[in-house]
Structure 1
Amino acid sequence: MEYLSITISLITLFVCLSVYNKVSAMEARIKAMQVSYDHIAQEVGLPRHPVQDEVLQLVREGKKVAAVKKAREVLGLSLVEAKQYVDALEA
């Protein structure tokens, strides 16, 4: 009986890790696609995301932390990604 519960636990752990890896890979692909989309949109001249103007305004006002927070909330970025996004806008 004890072996059965250990086996079930190990199988569950394996399935969870597999799902986590797949989700992580999909998130990375989506982020790469977003970067490609942003680059193409800039080249074609499509309007920017509305939050970009808000974030840029916060940066100009010296509220960089608020700008990073806004980018994280609206765009669903991690802290590092939001910081890089704000830094790129600032440049």
Structure 2
Amino acid sequence: MARLFVFLVTLLIFSGSAFAESGRDIYATKCGGCGKKPADKVSIQWNRWVEKKKYEKCCEGVTPDEVDALKNYLVSHAADSDQPEGDTFN
């Protein structure tokens, strides 16, 4: 019985993360229309972009969890990051 419980708990933990979209996926599917690339701005600019909710103009229907993932992606691939990314996904 204990093994079954541990199995079910493990299954629940991993199934939730399997359905979560990455920031890159969210950007590609919901935000690519604005034409901005992650490397177009430095990280502090992306942080302000999210704080001021400017994503609402070009990212349709993002949830608060998706906004966090999107922000992490944009900051991680900003012009001043270790791995700037210039994809627009259009």
Larger radius of gyration: 1
- TM-score clears 0.5: no
The TM-score range, normalised by the shorter chain, is 0.3 to 0.5
| TM-score normalised by structure 2 residue count | 0.40
| TM-score normalised by structure 1 residue count | 0.40
Structure with higher helix content: 1
Higher relative contact order (CA 8 A, sep 6+): 2
